[in-house]
Chains A and B, each alone.
Chain A
Amino acid sequence: GQSLEQPSEVTAVEGAIVQINCTYQTSGFYGLSWYQQHDGGAPTFLSYNALDGLEETGRFSSFLSRSDSYGYLLLQELQMKDSASYFCAVRRDSNYQLIWGAGTKLIIKP
């Protein structure tokens, strides 16, 4: 079967750094995406890693290790507006279908 594992909830302090991990087990792998979803809202795209290594976009970075079937999302200088759910999703093949994790709820405390 296809599965992605990520923590259900992570708590951090405003201004700190937090890492959200994702491990996957899928029948194929093209790349790993991260999406953010605020309560009741539409998921919005954050990043996509097809190759091993770290991709940085502002305060957010995403890492992939294909050999370990593992990736993470790193959020720096946390702000209260970063409180949301974060989903990792795998693109398995040349189609654009995404297989999703259950999401990690990030709680930020002042």
Chain B
Amino acid sequence: EAGVTQFPSHSVIEKGQTVTLRCDPISGHDNLYWYRRVMGKEIKFLLHFVKESKQDESGMPNNRFLAERTGGTYSTLKVQPAELEDSGVYFCASSQGLANNEQFFGPGTRLTVL
């Protein structure tokens, strides 16, 4: 069974540019999450999709971030325009919504904004 995949693995952009991150969850997982880890700090929740609907987007930092999950399969996270403080590793995770809350993570996208 294929795991969660993310693309690209690394992205280096200049302040003010736009970047789109993609996440392909495990097939059949209705729940999809985006997280971000700024270097040395805790992993922070950004948002949670159930199928194509946004269940919880309370962690989205501001309106420069836009997440979509059309058709309830893969998801994209767009940052426009990017700022220096957006640098970090963006993780995507998916789950079946079992009682043990096990979430399967992708390898992350390392975003550097110069």
- A47 closest partner in B (C-beta): B100
Pairwise interchain contact B108-A42, C-beta atoms closer than 8 A: yes
A11 proximal to B (CB < 8 A):
no
**A85 to B95, alpha carbons, bound, how many Å?**
22
A contact face: mostly helix, strand, loop, or mixed: strand
Q: Could you say which of A41, A43, A95, A102 has the most chain B C-beta atoms within 10 Å of its C-beta?
A: A43
- B97 closest partner in A (C-beta): A96
**A4 to B45, alpha carbons, bound, how many Å?**
14
Pairwise interchain contact A42-B4, C-beta atoms closer than 8 A: yes
For chain A residues 35-69, which have a beta carbon within 8 Å of chain B?
A: 35, 41-45, 48, 50
Pairwise interchain contact B56-A95, C-beta atoms closer than 8 A: yes
Pairwise interchain contact B95-A102, C-beta atoms closer than 8 A: no
Partner of A45 from B45, B97, B103 at Cβ < 8 Å: B103
Partner of B91 from A33, A43, A96 at Cβ < 8 Å: A43
Contact A42 to B91, CB < 8 A, known contacts A95-B55, A97-B56: yes
A72 proximal to B (CB < 8 A):
no
For chain A residues 91-110, which have a beta carbon within 8 Å of chain B?
A: 91, 95-103
B102 proximal to A (CB < 8 A):
yes
Pairwise interchain contact A91-B41, C-beta atoms closer than 8 A: no
- A4 closest partner in B (C-beta): B42
**A43 to B31, alpha carbons, bound, how many Å?**
17
Pairwise interchain contact B107-A96, C-beta atoms closer than 8 A: no
**A95 to B95, alpha carbons, bound, how many Å?**
12
Partner of B41 from A89, A95, A102 at Cβ < 8 Å: A102
CB distance from B12 to the nearest CB of A (A): 16
B64 proximal to A (CB < 8 A):
no
Binding site for A on B (CB under 8 A): 3-4, 31, 33, 35, 40-45, 48, 55-56, 58-59, 91, 93, 95, 97, 99-108
Binding site for B on A (CB under 8 A): 4, 30-31, 33, 35, 41-45, 48, 50, 87, 89, 91, 95-103
